[in-house]
Amino acid sequence: MLKIKDLSVEINNKVILKDFNIEINKNEIHGIMGPNGIGKSTICKTIMGDPNYKIIKGSITYKTHDLLSLDITKRAKLGIFLVNQTPIEIPGVTNAEMLRIALTEKTGKHIGLFEFNKRLEEICEKLSIPKSFIHRGINEGMSGGERKKNELIHLWMLEPKLIILDELDSGLDVDSLKIVYQNILEYQKMHKASILIITHHAKLLAELNAKYIHILNEGKIIKQGSLELAKEIEKTGFKNLIKTNIIRENTNYE
Ligand SMILES: Nc1ncnc2c1ncn2[C@@H]1O[C@H](COP(=O)(O)OP(=O)(O)OP(=O)(O)O)[C@@H](O)[C@H]1O
Ligand SMILES: [Mg+2]
């Protein structure tokens, strides 16, 4: 479903990813772990098509599409969805307004208002969030945890096939986290979606049934394994895997 091949990416003349490879098939749940500042969010934003990241070489193929030739909107229309580490605010545009436009564009059909609102209300209930969120500006004035939940309204409405979760667990209290991962699992099973999870915690990977764990360092995957690998890292840290100094001023990887 998603194939990233020999991808090198830089930002502000600093190489972050170098010969990065990963393959994610339909219905598979993958996790990526790695030290702070190593490039995990860079992977997410590059898949989504953030123009700030410069592709030096390599390819990203999604189904039969060459993703690098498509902008963010086209990638979203193909069914790729990112929950950002820090979801951005879009003041003045409500969830309902944005979703109505996005759905009309995606399906090419006019969506009845009654049916649309009913569906949104059901989703809010499922996520234990107030229905008033429907008509609030996207993430506007919302707390960190509320933003993460708000993004899930979009997930259920837009029905993506590849979900990228960048530190979903940050900012969520224990009860909210449980609601959110149960919710994502329900969605995943229903749609046979693929998920790429970025997290520092093995527990989230276990809760979301991640089968394939990848460790990122020096711009590429340095180790792959099962959930056991994530648990081992939680216990011992990265020191046994990463011999180099992980906090570097200069990341040129030459
Ligand atoms: N706009 C930018 N300008 C300069 N450097 C940037 C920019 N965006 C990212 N970087 C740098 O790229 C590197 C990788 O950042 P990234 O956000 O991908 O890390 P991460 O692995 O997600 O870290 P964390 O675990 O802390 O979320 C960092 O050193 C970061 O400072
Ligand atoms: Mg990050």
Per-residue pLDDT tens digits of the chain, which is 254 residues long: 999 999 999 999 999 999 999 999 999 999 999 999 999 999 999 999 999 999 999 999 999 999 999 999 999 999 999 998 888 888 889 999 999 999 988 888 888 899 999 999 999 999 999 999 999 999 898 888 899 899 999 999 999 999 999 999 888 899 999 999 999 999 999 999 999 999 999 999 999 999 999 999 999 999 999 999 999 999 999 887 776 544 444 455 55
Distance 38 CA to ligand 1 centre (A): 7
Give the DSSP letter string of 62-75.
ETTEEGGGS-HHHH
The one-letter code for the residue type at 32 is I
What is the structure's pLDDT at 87? 86
Rounded to 5 degrees, φ, ψ at 31 are -125, 145
Nearest to 54 by CA among 88, 87, 9: 9
What is the structure's pLDDT at 253? 53
Give the DSSP letter string of 175-207.
HHHHHHHHHHHHHHHHHT-EEEEE-S-HHHHHH
Residue minimizing CA distance to atom 13 of ligand 1: 37
From the number of C-beta atoms within 10 Å of its C-beta (0-12, 13-18, 19+), residue 112 rates as exposed
Residue owning tokens 């749940």:
29
Q: Indicate the DSSP class of residue 219.
A: T
What is the structure's pLDDT at 86? 85
Q: Are strands 162-166 and 80-83 parallel, antiparallel or unpaired?
A: parallel
Would you give the end-to-end CA distance of the chain in angstroms? 31
Residues with CB under 5 A from ligand 2 (ion): 40-41, 85
CATH of segment(s) 2-236:
3.40.50.300
What is the CB < 6 Å shell around ligand 1?
11-12, 16, 34, 36-42, 52, 85
What is the structure's pLDDT at 249? 46
Distance 250 CA to ligand 1 centre (A): 12
Residue minimizing CA distance to atom 8 of ligand 1: 11
* Structural domain boundaries in the chain: 2-236
Reduced to 3 states, what is the DSSP secondary structure of residue 155?
Answer: helix
Q: Indicate the DSSP class of residue 134.
A: G
Residue minimizing CA distance to atom 17 of ligand 1: 41
Ligand 1 atom at minimal distance to the Cα of residue 38: 21
Closest ligand by atom to 249 CA: 1
Ligand 1 atom at minimal distance to the Cα of residue 34: 21
The pTM for the full model equals: 0.92
What is the structure's pLDDT at 248? 46
For 36, residues 6+ apart whose C-beta sits below 8 A from its C-beta are none
Ligand 1 atom at minimal distance to the Cα of residue 216: 21
In contact, 142 and 94? CB cutoff 8 Å: no
